[in-house]
Amino acid sequence: MITLSELRTRQAWPLNQKIDHTCYAVEAFVAYCKEHGRTPYVSFSGGLNSTVLLEIVRRFVDPNMPGVFCSTGNEYPEIVRFVRHTENVTIIRPTMTPREVVARYGFPLVSKEQAHGIYDVRHVKGEKTRRRRLEGVANSRSVMISKKWRYLINEPYEVSHKCCEYLKKGPMRKFYRNSNALVMLGTMAGESNLRTGQYLTRGSCNTFSDDPRKVYSAPLSIWTDTDCWDYIHRFNVPYCPIYDMPGITRTGCVFCGFGAQYGGGSRFRVLNNLHPKLYKMVMNYTNNGYTLRYALLRMGVQLPGEQPELFGEK
C-alpha cells in the first residue's frame, strides 16, 4: 500500500521518469508472463491512453506486442476505423448487442456504483442489502445510493451496472480463458476515486497473484492525460483523428449514461453533431418501453434540441 501523497509525488514526476517507470513495470510483467507460460497483451480501445500504452510497449519493450480490441458496437466510427488500421490487433465481440443488453438489464446511468446500488435495491432479496444501499454501513464496500438518485428505484425502466459486464468484461474474460493471455491496461489512477483507491491498495502498476485471474498490469497508473499528449507529440505517435474534432473530450461508449449528469450534456451534443443518425439510434434504445432519451431527460441531462416542456414524455 502507498499513501495518497506518495501517489501525488509520482504523478508530478517528469515525463522521462514516468516513461522509465512504465518500461520497468512492463518488463517485469512480461518476465512474469514468460515464467508462467502466459502471453502478455495490451487491451486496446483506440483511445488516448491505450494508444500511448501500446506504442510505448512496442517502442521500448517488444515490437510484436499484440493488442486486443473489444468491439461493443457502441464506439465512434472513427475509433473503429483507427483500430482496424493499427497492426497486430485482434478484434473480439460480445454475444449481445448494446440494444439487447439495455433492453434486458437496464440503462447504465449516473455511475457504476450508484447503478449497482439501484439494481440491488430493486432485485436483490434480503433486507441487509437493501439497508446497506439505502442507509449505508460503516466499513462496507457497498456504496449508498445518494438522495439525488433515489427516484431511480421507482422508475418504470431498469437501471443497472451490468452493461459493462456483458459488453466488455465478459468477452475479455472469454478471450483470457481461450488464450491463456494476461492483460496490460491503459488505466490511470487519477481517472476516478475508484481507480485512485485501487492504486493506493496495490502500491504499484503490477498485480501478481497465485490466482491468474487476478494478475494484470496498469503501467500508466501514475500518468495524466497531459503526459499522454506530451508523449504523443514527442514521439509523433499516430492517434485517432476524432480527438481533433471540436468538443471531443472522451471517446468511450457513445451512449453511456455514467457521468452523463456532468458537462451539461456536451457528450450527446458532440455525438449529435458528428453522427446524428447514431445519436438518434442510441436515444431510441429502450427498456420496458421507455427510451434512453426519456431516462436522460429525467436525470436532468440537457439533450440537443430538446425543449423543457418535452421533459417527462415517453
Considering the complex, state which of residue 108 and residue 186 has its C-beta at the smaller distance from ligand SF4: 108
Q: Are strands 89-92 and 216-217 parallel, antiparallel or unpaired?
A: unpaired
Considering the complex, state which of residue 71 and residue 88 has its C-beta at the smaller distance from ligand SF4: 71
**Residues 283, 184: Cα–Cα separation, whole Å:** 33
Instruction: Provide, rounded to whole angstroms, the least separation between the CB of residue 173 and ligand SF4.
Output: 14
Are the C-beta atoms of 215 and 209 separated by less than 8 Å?
yes
**Which residues, including other chains, have CB under 8 Å from residue 127's CB and lie 6 or more apart?**
none
**Residues 239, 232: Cα–Cα separation, whole Å:** 8
Considering the complex, state which of residue 254 and residue 274 has its C-beta at the smaller distance from ligand SF4: 254
Instruction: Provide, rounded to whole angstroms, the least separation between the CB of residue 259 and ligand SF4.
Output: 9
Considering the complex, state which of residue 167 and residue 184 has its C-beta at the smaller distance from ligand SF4: 167
The Cα-based distances of 269 to 142, 205, 248, 276 in angstroms read 33, 36, 10, 9
Instruction: Provide, rounded to whole angstroms, the least separation between the CB of residue 270 and ligand SF4.
Output: 16
Considering the complex, state which of residue 11 and residue 198 has its C-beta at the smaller distance from ligand SF4: 198
Residue (of 110, 117, 115) closest to 140 by Cα position: 117
Residue (of 160, 228, 204, 138) closest to 2 by Cα position: 204
**Residues 91, 84: Cα–Cα separation, whole Å:** 9
Residue (of 159, 163, 166, 165) closest to 145 by Cα position: 159
Considering the complex, state which of residue 232 and residue 252 has its C-beta at the smaller distance from ligand SF4: 252
Instruction: Provide, rounded to whole angstroms, the least separation between the CB of residue 258 and ligand SF4.
Output: 5
Q: For residue 252, give the DSSP letter.
A: S
- The site for ligand SF4 (CB under 6 A) is made up of 72, 74, 108, 163-164, 167-168, 252-253, 255-256, 258
Instruction: Provide, rounded to whole angstroms, the least separation between the CB of residue 256 and ligand SF4.
Output: 3
Provide the edge-to-edge strand list for the sheet that holds 39-43. Answer: 89-92, 67-70, 39-43, 181-184, 216-217, 206-207
Considering the complex, state which of residue 43 and residue 72 has its C-beta at the smaller distance from ligand SF4: 72
**Residues 40, 282: Cα–Cα separation, whole Å:** 35
Instruction: Provide, rounded to whole angstroms, the least separation between the CB of residue 68 and ligand SF4.
Output: 16
Instruction: Provide, rounded to whole angstroms, the least separation between the CB of residue 169 and ligand SF4.
Output: 9
